[in-house]
Structure formats: structure tokens, C-alpha cells
A and B are shown apart, each in its own frame.
Chain A
Amino acid sequence: MKKKLCFTIVITVILIFVPNSQAAADSPYTTWAYGPNGALVLTQDAYSPYAEIDLSIKSAEDMFITPEGEIYIADTGNSRIVEVNQEFKIVASYGEDFLQGPSGVFVDKNGNIYVADSKKNAIIIMDKDGNLIKELGRPVEPLFGKSREFLPRKIVVDARENLYIISEGSVDGVVQMNTNGNFIGYFAANTAEMSLRMVLQRTFLTEEQLAQFIRNEAASPSNLAIDNQGMLYTVTAGTLPQKSIRKFNIAGINIFPEIIGSNNFRDIDVSDNGLVVAVDADGHIFEYDITGVLLFQFGAKDTSGNQRMGTLTNPTAISRHQDYLYVLDKDKNAIVVYSTTAFAQTVHAGTRLYMEGFYEEAKPYFEEVLDYNGLFITSYKAIADAYFKEENYAKALEYYRYAEDRNGYSQAYWEMRNVVLQNYLGTALMSILGLSILRSGVDRLNRRYKWFDPIVAWFKDLTRFKLIDDFVFMFRFIGKPADSFYYIKKDKRGSLLFAVLMFIWIAVVRVLSLYWTGFVFNPYASPSDIRIENEILMVFGIIALWITANYLVSTISDGEGRVKDVVIGTAYSLFPYALFALPIALLSRVLTFNEAFVYSFSQTIMYAWMILMLFIMVMEIHNYFLSDTLRNVLITLFAMALFVLTGYILSVLFGQLFDFISAIIQELGLRG
């Protein structure tokens, strides 16, 4: 019954949302969606260009569209606000008498028009007929800041008539005022970014030198929007693209995640159906859902003067109204209109349902989206969530894998494992108990009758082969490391051949562990991302560097070890990795995030053990005291870093030399 109702709803909705748009030109832009590995992938157009409406405006800087579809434009060049209706005719113009350079406009639900005037540096409030109600200038409260300027550029108003104003260059954030002109506070400031370079600069440079640099201040937000729940969104140009859009809660904390964004956003708009859309100076339009996941990116600039419909020259504002996007273009003096395609409507419908938690109702939409484009990652996640809710964990697992969602995968896997454990745990425990009883029985019998003695003797005999002996020698390090290193030094056990084999095995283990680590813990989403050559080179490189550096450093500081000792010693020190890395990787395949501690702890122990072994090796092979060992190891590490740096410099130099020579040869070839 529920399913049938859903089905009819779905059909109704799909039929109703058949687009009425007439435009079906080839768009001048391509559209990209969020794909695997966080890369953008091509997709069908989400919006197609619908119209370009020329208006008698000049250098317009802002636009606001009311829920009824009235378009208000801040006609900056003509010092007025114009109102445009849905037939794209100018029906009214306001404020010619008292506006000078309106650059921001907002209309509240009563029709009052709020204008940020950039020439007067004031906020002007008009009623719906354009009569002046109030003009607000620079706030006088001391909290505002003595030397801070008031340069209002953009404005939004919330339901309780709080004004949020972008003041140009304000590093303290958005200016919050009330309609009486009182300054309430700063809100939604950006954070300044600290980088390693800056830390180093501050440590080493003097005051005068530091004063030469541009102060590391937070970029000031460039535009803002408000949604129907009163949450404020800002866009900031000139900051990291990942942090260019921020959403602030009441406490002023940014709750938007890192996004795929742009570093020169111009405007943002949030609509009632939970879609965030932003336009940047390069003519690109970005659409996100309410949680900051990128849905689409498209748009192109009209660089060659081609005048193809849908290109932008200098976009300054964007707004959505029903199924259309409106972009105000300052240089074209026009509004470019885009209409939503059937594809995007499916995505939006599915996203809307998903955001409200109706996963199962959203699933058919996302399955349709996958028909349109099999790389639309958000669909896989939504479908996986739906399967999870339906308790179809096997399917959920498969889809979480496609969606590269490790969290979801971990949870679904937990559920599946739970089932297996519940079914088979009892049997497993019984069989382990049985086996151990059997084993102790066999042991006791063996002690009595010595049945296995010939086999054990045969094994012992094998150790006459040097390699086998070396292999067995490795296990001695578990209990008696210092002693065993001494044996190496005295040439009693261990061989170079085994050391080389050990190194090769380490490289193999490294590669295999990357392949065999479970998806939940694997840094790579898919095996084809792994760069085998890089891994192998890195393993051999680090080992070679260590051996070389250590030997050289030790030679200078009275170490007794020969090269052979260092090589063999290093090989044996790495045994924890050689023995345990693969089993840990295999173990990770059956673990979930709940047991992440087990995985990371075992890895930590393995690496710590390895480092301890190396430490002991240095101490024993070179016959150092503890403090000398410490010093030797630190200097070795430093020497390794120097080697790398020198190698890098040399490679750059040689690269340039090579380029130079090959350019000459090319020139000779062409001109000769």
C-alpha cells in the first residue's frame, strides 16, 4: 500500500515536472558534476540557456527576485532601483531622487526595499512605492570600531528586520544593524589562513621586515544571502576555493563543509527548495545542495565576442525563481535566463526528498539520475542510504563502494558482519575449543611417544642451508635483539643475499598491503589509483638513503660497523613490517570504523617496533652508548634530508641543462 502510494506519487510528480521550457539550443558551455575521487565529470546540461533580456540599465550591481517573481535591480549607473515583471518589462523605477550609487538591493515580505548605496555609504530604506522611509549612515556605537569605515555594498534582511550588511574591506565580517540604525555587532567573519611559510617568517624575520609584507588578514566577504530559516550565507572572493562559501548559524560558526568552489565568487542565492547557487567572475555557475555537496558546475564567458546565448561577460548577481536562474550581467546590461532541464529537475526532486530524510522515496529519482549519468556520485550515496534504511545491507555495501563513502561502507559492513557473527560465532568457538583440546592431546601424546621427533629433526636439518638459517635467525630478534645484532657483526649469522631478498620482500609487502587493505581503511578508493612504481621506488629509496647516511655518519663518529653490517642489520630490523604488515592488511578487511583503534594501534606497534629495532641496530652494530646512538640517529635523519634536497637541486639543474641542450638541437634541426 505504501509502495503503491509512493509509486503513484512518483509518476504524478514526474509527469507534472515535464519541463515547459521551449529553449533547446546547444548550450555554449559544458556541464560538470561531482564524480569519483572528488573530480568533476561531464554530464548532461542541468540548465539550458533560455533568453538574454536587454534592459535599459547601466552597470547594474545587484538583483533581487521576490517569491512572486518581481525582479528588482540595483541600476547603479543610473542611480535607481528598477522593478521588472515576468514579461521582462520595466514597470517601475524608484529612488532616482535620493540614491547615488545603489549596489545592493533586498526586498522584504512587505515590499519594503532596502538599498546599500555605495556612493553615499548609507543604507536607504524605501516602501513599496519608492518613498523614502529612512536613511542609515555609519553606526556611532563604539563597538563598531573607531577607525573602521562604513562602506555598505550588499544587504540582506532577516525575518526580524535585522539588517546584515557587507561593508567593503571589513575584515571583521558582516555588519549587523537594526532598522533604527543601531549597530548590533559583527557577524560571520572569515578566518585568516596560517601557513608554514608564515610561521617561519614570523620566527625568523624582524619587525621591520615583517612590516614589509601584506598583513595576513582575513579576506572580507563579498556578498551574502539569507535562507528562509534565517541562516546567513557568505561568499568571499580572494580566498581558498574550498572555503569560499560559508553558512553561519546563530552563534556565528561556519557550518558549511569544504566545497568545490571558486576564488572569485560574485553572488550567491539560496532558494526555498534547498538549493544554493553561486556565480563567479569567470562566468561559472555552481549549484550545491543545502549541505554543500556540489551538484553542477557550468557556464562560460563570452571571450571571443561571439554573443552566443547563455554566455556571460561580467556577472554581478544571480537569483533563482521557480525553474529559472537569472544572472545579471553588468557589461551586457542584460539578464541572462537559464531554464532547468528535465535531468536537473530529477536531481533536484531526489535531493529534496533525500535532505528531508525520505530516502526510499528519493531512490527512484536517483536511479533515474544514474540512467542519465552513471558517474553522479551523490546518487550512489543516496541510493546506498536508502538500501541501508531498508536493511538491504549487501546492496548498500555495493553502492557505498561506488560512492566512495567509507563511513557508510563501514556501517553496512558492520551490519553484514553482525549477521555472520550471530550465525556462526557459536560454531566457531566450539570448533576452536575442540581444536585446542585436540592439540593439547596431541602434544601430550607426542611428549610420551615422540611421534613428531623425526619431522622436527628434519626441519632442524634444513637450517644447514644458509638462507633457511638466515630466515630462522630473524625470529631470534623477537626475543634477543641486541645479542642477535652482535652475531651479525661477528659474521656468525645472516647474509647479504638474505638482506637483499628481505628488501625486495618489503617492497612487495608494501604494494600488496595497499591492494589488500580493506576499503574502509584504504587511502585509495580503487586499485587503479595506486602508483606501483612510486611505491616501490619510495621503499628502495628510503632504505638506500638510510643505509648510506647511517654508514657515512657512523664512520665519522667512530662507529664500528662495516657496510655489510649496516645492510644486514637494517634488513633484519625491518622484520616487524615484513612479518606483520600483510596480516594487518588482511585483518583490516574485516574491520569497521568501530574497530579503527585495533587497526591503527597494531600499525603503530608495528612501526614503533621497527624503529626500536633500528635503534638497537645502530647501538649494537656501531657499539655506541645510548646518548651516542640517539645523536647518530638524528644526524642520520638529517643527512637523509640533505641527500634528498641535494638530489632535488641537482635534478632541477640537470633538467634545465637538458632542456637547454635539446632546445638548441631542435633549433638546429629546424633551421639547419
Chain B
Amino acid sequence: MDKLKRFTQGFIIICLVFSLFGGVFGVSAQGDNPSANQFTQMDSINTDWVIDQTIPESYQKTAENDTYLLYVDHTTLGFKVVDKRSGYVWHSTLDEKSVEDKLNKSWEAFAKSGISINYLDSKAASKRISITNAEHELTVTPIDMGVDCKLTFTDFGISLSMILKLEPDGVSIEVPFESIQETNPEFRLAVLHLYPFFGATRGGSVPGYMFIPDGAGSLIRFADTTKARNILYYRYYGQDLGMIGRVPWDPFVNPPYVISLPVIGMVHGYKQNAFITVIEKGASYAEIQAHPGGILTNFNFIYNAFIYNQSYFQPTNRAGAGVTTIQQKPNQFDVKMQYRFLTQDESDYVGMAKNYQRYLLEKGVLKKPDRSNKNNIGIRLEFLGAEKEKVLLWTRSISVTTVNQMEAILEDLQIYNPEVIYYGWQPLGASSMPPQALKIDSSLGSLEDLLTLSSNITESGGNLYLYYDPQAAIVGEGGYSKRYDLAMAITIVELFGYHRGKPNNYLNIDALSSNYSSLTQDVWNYETIGLALDEIGYNLYSDFKSGNFFNRESAIQRYREIIAENNDSLAFYSPNAYMFDFMNAYFDMPVSNSGYIYTTDMVPFLQIVLAGYIPFYGKALNFSSDMKMDLLKHVDFGVYPSYFLTHEPTARFLKTNSNWIYTSGYEQWEEEVKATYSWMNALLAPVIGEEIVARDVLQPGVVATTYANGKQVLVNYTNQTVQIEGTTVNALDAALREVLP
């Protein structure tokens, strides 16, 4: 007893000493915190900079409207836009290089030309040429509000035409696919670079940043040096499985986020000038190329490059030998991009997000929500229903959460508006293919029970969704034909990937369409059940099966058609922008980004775009290693919480594919879920259905997000209590207050 007492005393002393160390570390690390790029930095208005605003003689005034003036240079295809509201001139190309710009001839041409291309020769080697350093023929024809340019690189036989027009919101650029010609079989058009140097700045001379829609959103502030080692590439909507065949899967690696919004942007001077580039058509074959100053040149630039032909490795025998060859036909897609300009107060990432939101509203993608009686926030509760395991000589389904158990859990939780997802409802559970009509596994209960439960949930303001992955053809399962239903890569192998612990091949469009229609038609008969669609929202692959070829762009069209036919009540997991108009809820909303070391801030761009229109729910908090920090980020970004719940503990389904759900037992999580929900509800219920109008970092680690109805959420990430104009926010906590609009 004595020994114990002495030990505990010593232990407490050691703990206190450690915490002191830790505390000192925590506080001192505020100033130059090496991990500051996981938060948003403070911004201040800095007008102490200047960028050359002259418009050289070679530029002809081409169009004008209420807000902008457009000048075009007919030899380089560069253009300049003057924002009449501020008089700021946006340059699309470099006019004069200075000595400090370390630009060699190729880069100088790249910077001075509006259009550059990469071509592939017969050996599949890629080279870049620009207008100003290659033999070309260029005809520029004035059209209403713009110009129509036809460009041919004569040495290589590659030609294209581009239409540049002034729109009410900015400038639009189109490159129709019919205009692309490759007359010389030796040379193929690989990549089209459109206005790479639009808005380029030198080093740290202009205070501002570029924006990349990575995860929630990342910023790279302009500086003279950067931690990046090479040009940064990000493929919109993820890699094309159809070109690579299988995802190189390493169980130890957590893959980066998929770029889900076709938007990039830049700020020149906080609250002074900004623009975003929105790709309307062709994003599936576009790639963001970003270059912070200091890698190859001292310029900061970010732009979209469009991929028409790629080389790939075709194995010709089982040993792995093969040839590198170029795809037979170029990717068929039209390009349509819009530069949208912002000025004054709109010129930050919040304004950029609001501008994109306005764009989506105009297109009818986002619709004004029904503001009826939602007084409490939602919560996503995903239940694992059944899984299967091998027993003796056959497989049997293990019921992990039956319908009645789910009902009991929901009653016990007493939470309003739950978005309940039932994963593994199908016969034989989560690792088998879903049926063509709605039937649930017999061990889970009867269909009537499920329907009763779903109508109860709907009445109390929530929704019941059944999990459905339309693209997956689970390896080793029945329910699809291996010969006729699978999509193939360009290397004539079946596409392969892993998702949720299951190895998958992928269905081609026809099979997907027929499965989807037959299941949804049955499900919509029961009006209270919805479907939560996974993978189809973000996974986009082209299908090279002969006779059934589908490229990514047409896959988007077809997916949209298929879903538009049957879309009563749909929610999506991490959808890309082309699915936004179908979703009633967004699941697995990221609250961070992919953690690239060269980014300087993490910002909730995606959340600001959707706030007020679609409710979004984060990733399951069961898997969080730092619950406190994750919850603060949820409140900061307006993201509602999610949990995985099961009636049985994990040990029960350990030997199944779903053992990646390594903690979910309701008995363990009950208290946590209730506590989190009530804490978050108190903070976010007053701002349900409201748009975010502003977000400011008041001091390092203290963030204020303002909503359209005048309420503001204050989040304190630091270890000290702070006082903001009379409102106290405790350490690692959040508070809500009113601000005058």
C-alpha cells in the first residue's frame, strides 16, 4: 500500500512535468508551428504591391460589356481583361521577361504564348512547343464578343481551333473536338496547355495565393521559395482506371483525395482581386498543373492542361515484357472553360467559393432548399447489417445488426433527423452483389420491418438509405457475367480495385444501367427508402472493351442519364461535381486535405460551396485518432457528424471482409455518439440551411465562420481560453454568437 502510494505520487509528479514540457511545446509552437499548413492562416489586407498594368500595342480591343474589357493579341493569342470595377488588368501571358526570371527559350515561349501543346512522336516521346517558338499558321477571326482562332502547328500537322469570348461573368474559352486534327500520323497531340501563365506572378512580389480543390481545399501562398520539388499535377476526378488497369494498391498507403470540383483559382492581394477557372466541359480529361515560384522558374502559375493522347505500356506476354504505345484514337471531348473574376471583398477563397456556388445555382445544379422545420442537425449513422463467412463447406450470413436491433438503437439514441444507412442489407450481406429487386437477408428481419422502420425515420425528419455501389463487380461473387458485364482497360485486362475490404472488378455501362434501373425501380415503389450511392460519385473510368468503348466524358453523360431516370431519394459518398444535382446529402465530406507539404493553408472551400443547400456529413468518427481536433473541424466547417454502429462487437465479424470496421459496437459508442451530437447540435442547429458568407482567422488558432443569418461560429483550436468581444471560447472548444450583418 505504501509502495503504491509512493509510486502514484511519483507518477503524478512525472505526469505534471511531462505536461509542462508538452504545454510549453504546444504554446511555443504556435508562432512558427511547422504543421500550420493544416489550418488557415491569418490574412491581412496588404496593398503594398504593384503589378505591371500596361497593355502593349499588339493587343487589340476586342469586346466590352458592363464589367469587363477584353483585349486580344492576334499573334500570340494572349488576351488581357480589364475589370472595370477596380481597373485591375489580368494578363494571360508574359509580355516582357526580366533578367531575374530564369526562363530558357522553351519556357519563355511557353510564358509568352497563349496556347502550347505537347506532342508525341512515333517513339512515344513527348515534347512541348508553343506558338512563339514553332512554325505555325494562325488565323484569328473576330466574332460577336470575341474571336475565333484557328491554329495549326505546321511541322507536326496538328491543328485546333479556339473560341475566346467575353461573357457577363468573365471570359470563356472553347476548343471543340471536331476542330482537332492530326494530319501527320507521325505526331499525335498529347496535351493542350491553355493559357498557362494566366494571372502568373513573380515569386513573393504579389501577396496572394493559388487555390487547389484538394480535399476540403488547399492554398499555396506566393513566395520566393517553395518546398515543392517539381511541377504539381492533379488529375480531375482521379486517375482513369481504364488507362492503367488496376489501382496500384498498397495496404499501407492512404491514397490522396480525388479532385472533385473542376475549379482552380488565384488571389492577387487579399480582398483586392481574384479569379477562378471553372471547367464546364472536358474536366474528365483535364489536369491541374501548378507551379509555385522557385521550382523551375520564379513564377507562380496554375492552369488546366487537357489530355488528348497518352502513351501506355501494353504487356504482350505473361512475363511482363511489352511495348510502350500510344492510344489509337484521341480522347473525344470538347473543352469549355470559364474565367470568372472577383474584386474587392469577394477576393478571397470564401468569395471564390461563393462565386462557384452562384455558378452552380445559375446552372440549376444547386436548388434552394426546403427550409421547413429542421430545428436539429442531422447525423449519419451507418449500420452494418450482415456479412458472410465460411462455415464448414458453405458460406452463411452473420447478422451483425438486424432491423429490429437498428430500431432499438435509434430509439435509444433519441436523435432527430438521422441519416441512417444500411450497409450489407442484401442477401448474404455486404460482400455479395446486390439483388435486382429489393430483398433483405433473411437473418436481418423481414422487408415489412424495414419499411416500417423507414417510415418511422422519415416521419421524424430523417432518412433511411440502403447502401449501393452500382459500379462494383465483387470478385468471386455471382450476380454478374464475367464475360459480358465487365469493363476493360486499354491493355485488355479487366479493371480491378479494392473498396471497403472487397476486391472488385468494375461493371461496364450497360450492365450498370440495367442493374441500377431494376433495383431503383423496385426501391422507389416504397417511398420511404432511399439509396446511398458509393463509388459512382467519384470513380470515373473509361471502358476499352471492343465494341463497347466509352470514354470518361461520355461516361459522365451516361451516368447522369441513368441516374436522372431514377433519382427520387439519393445520397452520394464523396461525389464529384457532376453528381451534385442529384444528391440529397453528401457523405464522407473531407475535413482536411491530402497533406502535401508545399501547401500553406487548408480551407473549407467545398463546404462553403455546398453550405445552405446540401447537408454534408463527415467520415465516420470511429476511426479518428484525435477526436477532439476532428470535432472542432466539423464545427468549424459546418460538417455534421457520422458514426459506424453495429449491434455486435467487431470480434463477431472479424473473419469477414468488413473487418476494416474495427470498432463500432453500440455498447461502446453509445455515450460518445450522444455527447457529440448534443454538443454539435447546440452549436450548429441555429445555422441549419444557411449559407456561409465569411470566414476569418481572428488570431492564430481562432477561427470565426459567419452565416447568412448573422450567426457566427467561433472555434478555438488553442490550449488557452480566448475572449472574442465578450464571448468566451474555452480551449479546444467552440461557441456561437450573433454578429450584426
The complex places the Cα of A22 from the Cα of B26 at a distance, in Å, of: 8
- Interface contact A309-B595, CB-CB below 8 Å: yes
| B49 contacts partner chain A, Cβ-Cβ < 8 Å | no
Q: How far is the CB of B481 from chain A (nearest CB, A)?
A: 14
- Interface contact B592-A374, CB-CB below 8 Å: no
- Interface contact A308-B662, CB-CB below 8 Å: no
Provide the residues of chain A in CB contact with B23, threshold 8 Å: 20
| A23 contacts partner chain B, Cβ-Cβ < 8 Å | yes
Q: How far is the CB of B224 from chain A (nearest CB, A)?
A: 15
**With known contacts A13-B15, A300-B250, A371-B663, A22–B596 Cβ distance under 8 A:** no
In the complex, which of the residues A24, A298, A322 contacts B630, with contact meaning CB atoms closer than 8 Å? A24
The complex places the Cα of A52 from the Cα of B37 at a distance, in Å, of: 11
In the complex, which of the residues B15, B633, B665 contacts A17, with contact meaning CB atoms closer than 8 Å? B15
Chain B 313-337: CB-based contact to A (< 8 A → 1; otherwise 0): 0000010000000000000000000
In the complex, which of the residues A22, A28, A344, A358 contacts B256, with contact meaning CB atoms closer than 8 Å? A28
- Interface contact B254-A322, CB-CB below 8 Å: no
Total B residues in contact with A, Cβ cutoff 8 Å: 80
- Interface contact A28-B594, CB-CB below 8 Å: yes
| B19 contacts partner chain A, Cβ-Cβ < 8 Å | yes
The complex places the Cα of A308 from the Cα of B232 at a distance, in Å, of: 12
Provide the residues of chain B in CB contact with A295, threshold 8 Å: none
- Sampled A-B contacts (17; CB under 8 Å): A5-B5, A12-B12, A21-B35, A23-B35, A25-B595, A29-B254, A42-B662, A46-B625, A300-B250, A300-B254, A308-B594, A308-B597, A337-B34, A342-B627, A374-B651, A374-B662, A375-B654
- Kindly report which residue of chain A lies nearest to residue B248, judged by CB atoms: A303
The complex places the Cα of A48 from the Cα of B629 at a distance, in Å, of: 12
| B626 contacts partner chain A, Cβ-Cβ < 8 Å | yes
Q: How far is the CB of B525 from chain A (nearest CB, A)?
A: 38
**With known contacts A21-B626, A22-B29, A373-B663, A307–B227 Cβ distance under 8 A:** yes
The complex places the Cα of A9 from the Cα of B318 at a distance, in Å, of: 63
- Interface contact A26-B35, CB-CB below 8 Å: no
Q: How far is the CB of B14 from chain A (nearest CB, A)?
A: 10
The complex places the Cα of A323 from the Cα of B651 at a distance, in Å, of: 31
Beta-carbon contacts under 8 Å, B240-284 to A: 250-254, 256-257
Beta-carbon contacts under 8 Å, B465-493 to A: 492
Q: How far is the CB of B429 from chain A (nearest CB, A)?
A: 15
Beta-carbon contacts under 8 Å, B597-619 to A: 597-598, 602
B88-96, B388-396, B503-511 - the one binding chain A: B388-396
Q: How far is the CB of B480 from chain A (nearest CB, A)?
A: 18
- Kindly report which residue of chain B lies nearest to residue A44, judged by CB atoms: B625
The complex places the Cα of A424 from the Cα of B43 at a distance, in Å, of: 80
**With known contacts A307-B229, A307-B596, A308-B597, A30–B651 Cβ distance under 8 A:** no
| B152 contacts partner chain A, Cβ-Cβ < 8 Å | no
In the complex, which of the residues B256, B389, B651, B659 contacts A306, with contact meaning CB atoms closer than 8 Å? B256
The complex places the Cα of A591 from the Cα of B492 at a distance, in Å, of: 59
- Interface contact B651-A402, CB-CB below 8 Å: yes
In the complex, which of the residues A17, A25, A86 contacts B19, with contact meaning CB atoms closer than 8 Å? A17
| A540 contacts partner chain B, Cβ-Cβ < 8 Å | no
- Kindly report which residue of chain B lies nearest to residue A367, judged by CB atoms: B668
In the complex, which of the residues B36, B228, B389, B662 contacts A528, with contact meaning CB atoms closer than 8 Å? B389
- Kindly report which residue of chain B lies nearest to residue A336, judged by CB atoms: B597
**With known contacts A16-B15, A300-B253, A528-B390, A43–B25 Cβ distance under 8 A:** no
- Interface contact B663-A24, CB-CB below 8 Å: no
Provide the residues of chain B in CB contact with A50, threshold 8 Å: 34-35
- Interface contact B492-A88, CB-CB below 8 Å: no
Provide the residues of chain B in CB contact with A139, threshold 8 Å: none
In the complex, which of the residues A18, A29, A375 contacts B253, with contact meaning CB atoms closer than 8 Å? A29
Provide the residues of chain B in CB contact with A323, threshold 8 Å: 22
Which of A20, A31, A670 has the most chain B CB atoms inside 10 A of its CB?
A20
| B78 contacts partner chain A, Cβ-Cβ < 8 Å | no
The complex places the Cα of A125 from the Cα of B652 at a distance, in Å, of: 58
In the complex, which of the residues B11, B228, B629 contacts A13, with contact meaning CB atoms closer than 8 Å? B11
Provide the residues of chain A in CB contact with B227, threshold 8 Å: 52, 54, 307
| A109 contacts partner chain B, Cβ-Cβ < 8 Å | no
Chain B 380-404: CB-based contact to A (< 8 A → 1; otherwise 0): 0000000001111100000000000
- Interface contact A300-B252, CB-CB below 8 Å: yes
| B546 contacts partner chain A, Cβ-Cβ < 8 Å | yes
| B1 contacts partner chain A, Cβ-Cβ < 8 Å | yes
The complex places the Cα of A49 from the Cα of B250 at a distance, in Å, of: 19
The complex places the Cα of A27 from the Cα of B4 at a distance, in Å, of: 40
The complex places the Cα of A307 from the Cα of B392 at a distance, in Å, of: 48
Q: How far is the CB of B212 from chain A (nearest CB, A)?
A: 13
| A172 contacts partner chain B, Cβ-Cβ < 8 Å | no
- Interface contact A309-B597, CB-CB below 8 Å: yes
The complex places the Cα of A300 from the Cα of B35 at a distance, in Å, of: 19
The complex places the Cα of A35 from the Cα of B659 at a distance, in Å, of: 11
- Interface contact B18-A16, CB-CB below 8 Å: yes
Q: How far is the CB of A242 from chain B (nearest CB, A)?
A: 19
- Kindly report which residue of chain A lies nearest to residue B9, judged by CB atoms: A9
Beyond the given pairs A48-B625, A309-B35, 11 more chain A to chain B contacts, judged by CB atoms under 8 angstroms and listed by A's residue number, are: A20-B26, A21-B26, A21-B626, A30-B253, A36-B651, A52-B227, A306-B594, A308-B596, A309-B37, A342-B626, A343-B625
Could you tell me which A residues sit within 8 Å of B by CB distance?
2, 5, 9, 12-13, 16-32, 35-36, 41-46, 48-54, 86-88, 284, 298-300, 305-310, 322-323, 337, 341-344, 358, 370-375, 402, 526, 528, 532-533, 663, 670
| B38 contacts partner chain A, Cβ-Cβ < 8 Å | yes
Provide the residues of chain B in CB contact with A370, threshold 8 Å: 668
- Interface contact A5-B8, CB-CB below 8 Å: yes
| B655 contacts partner chain A, Cβ-Cβ < 8 Å | yes
- Interface contact B596-A306, CB-CB below 8 Å: yes
- Interface contact B8-A341, CB-CB below 8 Å: no
| B719 contacts partner chain A, Cβ-Cβ < 8 Å | yes
- Interface contact B649-A374, CB-CB below 8 Å: yes
- Interface contact A28-B253, CB-CB below 8 Å: yes
| B33 contacts partner chain A, Cβ-Cβ < 8 Å | yes
| B460 contacts partner chain A, Cβ-Cβ < 8 Å | no
Provide the residues of chain A in CB contact with B21, threshold 8 Å: 322
| B16 contacts partner chain A, Cβ-Cβ < 8 Å | yes
Which of B12, B18, B629 has the most chain A CB atoms inside 10 A of its CB?
B629
- Interface contact A44-B35, CB-CB below 8 Å: no
Provide the residues of chain B in CB contact with A528, threshold 8 Å: 389-391, 655
In the complex, which of the residues A284, A308, A670 contacts B595, with contact meaning CB atoms closer than 8 Å? A308
Provide the residues of chain B in CB contact with A21, threshold 8 Å: 26, 35, 626
| B179 contacts partner chain A, Cβ-Cβ < 8 Å | no
Q: How far is the CB of B636 from chain A (nearest CB, A)?
A: 12
| B624 contacts partner chain A, Cβ-Cβ < 8 Å | yes
- Kindly report which residue of chain B lies nearest to residue A667, judged by CB atoms: B492
- Interface contact B593-A25, CB-CB below 8 Å: yes
- Interface contact A375-B662, CB-CB below 8 Å: yes
Provide the residues of chain B in CB contact with A9, threshold 8 Å: 8, 11-12
The complex places the Cα of A20 from the Cα of B26 at a distance, in Å, of: 5
The complex places the Cα of A309 from the Cα of B492 at a distance, in Å, of: 36
The complex places the Cα of A307 from the Cα of B231 at a distance, in Å, of: 11
- Interface contact A28-B25, CB-CB below 8 Å: no
The complex places the Cα of A358 from the Cα of B389 at a distance, in Å, of: 39
Provide the residues of chain A in CB contact with B393, threshold 8 Å: 532-533
- Kindly report which residue of chain A lies nearest to residue B27, judged by CB atoms: A20
| B650 contacts partner chain A, Cβ-Cβ < 8 Å | yes
The complex places the Cα of A375 from the Cα of B598 at a distance, in Å, of: 36
- Interface contact A305-B230, CB-CB below 8 Å: yes
- Kindly report which residue of chain B lies nearest to residue A337, judged by CB atoms: B34
The complex places the Cα of A23 from the Cα of B592 at a distance, in Å, of: 11
Q: How far is the CB of B567 from chain A (nearest CB, A)?
A: 31
- Interface contact A24-B629, CB-CB below 8 Å: yes
Q: Which 9 A-B pairs have the closest CB atoms?
A: A51-B34, A20-B26, A23-B35, A374-B650, A45-B625, A24-B629, A341-B625, A44-B625, A25-B595
Provide the residues of chain A in CB contact with B679, threshold 8 Å: none
- Interface contact B35-A51, CB-CB below 8 Å: yes
Provide the residues of chain B in CB contact with A18, threshold 8 Å: 628, 732
- Interface contact A22-B38, CB-CB below 8 Å: yes
Provide the residues of chain B in CB contact with A29, threshold 8 Å: 252-254
| B434 contacts partner chain A, Cβ-Cβ < 8 Å | no
